[in-house]
Structure 1
Amino acid sequence: MRFKQLGFIAALSLSALAEPGMAQTADPLPSWNDGANKTAIINFVEKVTKEGGSGYVAPPERIATFDNDGTLWAEQPLYFQLIFALDQIREQAPQHPEWSTTEPFKSVLAGDSKAVMASGKEGLMKIMAASHAGMTADEFAASVRKWLSESKHPTVERPYNQVVYQPMLELLDYLRANGFKTFIVSGGGIDFMRVFAEETYGIPPEQVVGSTLDAKFEMRDGVPTIVKTGDLMLNDDKAGKPVGIYRHIGRRPILAGGNSDGDLQMLEYTTIARDAEDTTPRFGLLVHHTDAKREWAYDKDSHIGKLEQGLVEAEQRNWTVVDMQVDWKTIYPPQ
């Protein structure tokens, strides 16, 4: 009888450990070092998910938005989508002999990245239009998948969709496990990111917001077809990010993460209360690239991912600034 009683007590103990509340005792962010920033994230999530608590937020309102370049995956030495576009230009060059004497294509073919960047927004838009437009949506997606499967980052030597941040993958999983809907809101192209976002981040294509080229519908041999054009509909950067959130999501986020001044307006839109009656808890997060040994160290003087005004506002608005060197145990997932 005594053994039966002990067995019954043991069974009850195991059952208790299986309860959802007990499962929360495991570290939800194992690649994050213990410290103020990790604690702030966990405290925020616990606050907004505690039913009956003063900061409780109903699941439909638990919207989290994240920039992609420099926040979820790396962005050096160039934005990965730009590298893709340059590769596409080089691949298509035999069909365009005029490019050998026409800028910015001449600089692309010469491998002069400084001259390409010096061509400014107008030159980059010509590159993006030439490499992205005039093909069907399916053809474009296939070209992105092919490039991701065949190309590797020049220094990290991994496929580009593996040059992602393990701590941020854990954060995305942690938020979703607590009833959040996670969105990408990035200056990168929406059609480009939708190809890999679900497999890489667990974010489905309908939850990707990005810069958008126009498209048109055609019937081709009786098949309904979407064809990409070169007309820019939305530049989802800086002030365009809140507009993109408004158009695509329709709810104001309660958490936003970025890494540059291009994300400033998204964090302001997320964290600044509408009025005195708006007491919803809100969280702003900036990834600060401080780790020159394991990744790159850059901020205000960078040609990519410039972070200057964001650091000033972070201090004023109590945003969490993640120090990659201090806060992250590891940078990339295991290969």
Structure 2
Amino acid sequence: MVETRWSLVSRRRIAALAGGLALAGLMLGPAAAAEGRLRIAKQFGVVYLLLNVIEDQKLVEKHGKAAGLDIAVEYVQLSGGSAVNDALLSGSIDVGGAGVGPLFTIWDRTRGRQGVRGIASLGNFPYYLVSNRPAVKSIADLTEADRVAVPAVGVSVQSRILQWASAKLWGDKEFAKLDRISVAVPHPEATAAIIKGGTEITAHFGNPPFQDQELAENPNAHVVLSSYDVQGGPASSTVLYGTERFYRDSPKTYAAFLDALDEAAKFVTENPEKAADIYIKASNSRIDRDLLLKVIRNPQVSFKVEPQNTLGLGQFMHRVGAIKTEPKALTDYFFDSPRTAAGS
């Protein structure tokens, strides 16, 4: 059964929430970062499991107390990197969770101003482009009759990886070739469309567990493309990021957050069954528990805060003109931290 059934009303509510957050920030001005307060935006899927764990076990609060600080933590559910970036720039949140593609976009646009950079990875996960049309064996087989669902057209990490794959196949000038048949649909709704069939959506570039549900529940569903194939191996596609102000003015809160994420990563790795139960509870999910455990235990998945293999996407985005500044090292677009220093 699909994890969540989304309706048009659901999408409108998310749009209204994101718009409200941005409007509030514009009216009041960006809120100053403050020690002892942490507002986090998350999205959908197992890729956000570390956030589910730190919320369930109050790990930020735990590590804050160890540092002599009481931290009030709030979580906001959004869909799409654009909504997350809007909320972050409005000052409505302190930390955004989204794909590494949106991170490069906001990093490039805020250099010398808000100074947004990465905080941590949420782990390595292969993202699959899944199609329910048997004739689609590769992206070269997609036609004007197909519609590819992504979280945000042109800017989400799925969309950026699809552009990168297009550039490899057709050349850099054609990197956006498949944007015109892409549509912005939240993962739960896109999954329902792939499983049911008979809609305009014939492909979905998703993330776990949605892609796994599609493959398990529709015999015609198959993998057309893996993000790892495009990125050249295991990679951190989903990350957390914040502003220079948060990093500079809330050092204890920042450190407690990283410590909490690191503890959560170890917990998930060592306790996959407990982690699965936390995810099901947090997302009010009806996903098959065995399927969820299969996702968490997938040998291609690793839960860790250290980013891996992210630089290549940023350099591709610069090469095709999607961002103005070329990232040359992790420290260009990630804040300095012993937790992430060995990343790539």
The reply to whether TM is greater than 0.5 is no
Shorter chain as denominator, the TM-score bin is: under 0.3
TM-score of the superposed pair, with normalisation by structure 1? 0.25
TM-score of the superposed pair, with normalisation by structure 2? 0.25
